[in-house]
Amino acid sequence: MRAWIRDTAGLGTALWLFGYLASLLLFFTPFAGIMGWIITAIFTPITLAVTWWWFRGRDLPLRYFLGVGIAWTAIAVVLDYLFIVRLFQTPYYGPDVFLYYALTFLIPVGVGLYLARMNR
């Protein structure tokens, strides 16, 4: 159970926090209007690498990775709502955000599929 909490709440919140802090930095630049696309382009490969590194060497079933994807997505949706939409009273949801939510779910699932294939 302890590993599940670290894998979902711990890593999911840490990854969200890095993106959130990057968005706060970009907010004060001329790129504020496209910061969602910039963050997605930069953090997708980083998140893939961190996720692969975090889970490598562990023999976990695909349903575990599905649960991680669901948990990470729920964390992102809730924290985005609380710390972006509510805190800054800003319109937030656009195509970049929905792509980000899809990737938040698909990255751990894809890494899980890749690792399962490599462990065969």
User: What does the H/E/C string look like for 32-79?
Assistant: HHHHHHHHHHHHHHHHHHHHHHHHCCCCCCHHHHHHHHHHHHHHHHHH
Residue type, 68: V
Using the predicted structure, report yes or no on whether residue 120 has a pLDDT greater than 80: no
**Section 37-42 average pLDDT:** 96
pTM over 0.85: yes
For residue range 14-34, list pLDDT tens digits in order. 999 999 999 999 989 999 899
Tell me what percent of the residues of the chain surpass a pLDDT of 70. 100
pLDDT, position 110: 98
The domain segmentation of the chain, as residue ranges, is 2-118
